[in-house]
Amino acid sequence: MKRVITYGTYDLLHYGHINLLRRAKEYGDYLIVALSTDEFNWDQKQKKCYFTYEERKKMLESIRYVDLVIPEENWEQKKTDCALYHVDTFVMGDDWKGKFDFLKEQGVEVVYLPRTPEISTTQIKSDLAERK
């Protein structure tokens, strides 16, 4: 079985997220999503989420491409996650291109997928703020 892992916040879930998860699943048989915890988002990313970790986790678990959701609690856990879950392929959006190539040293294939260009959580938040 080929295992794939991806990471993200997945707040204000939208079709760009779904496209990324669908394409990530195409690289293997089992897709693991490491979901940023509320604490990690706030303390290290300076992001405030609309939905809590548990709410975002439930939404991701309901998506047919996702087999397992685990917490992302720090930047450094990617190496240990890949070993712990026997990951074959690491997938991220191409805005992170080159940042995780160090995983190749562990024998993990690293793939950067193009984002869905016309949609992003940042854009949704901006559009909603303008409507006020």
79 noted as active-site residue: no
Is 47 catalytic? The answer is yes
Catalytic residue among 2, 45, 97, 104, which? 45
Where b means 16+ CB within 10 Å and e means fewer, 66-100 reads bbebbebeeeebbeebbeebebbbbbbbeeeeeeb
Enumerate the active-site residues. 45, 47
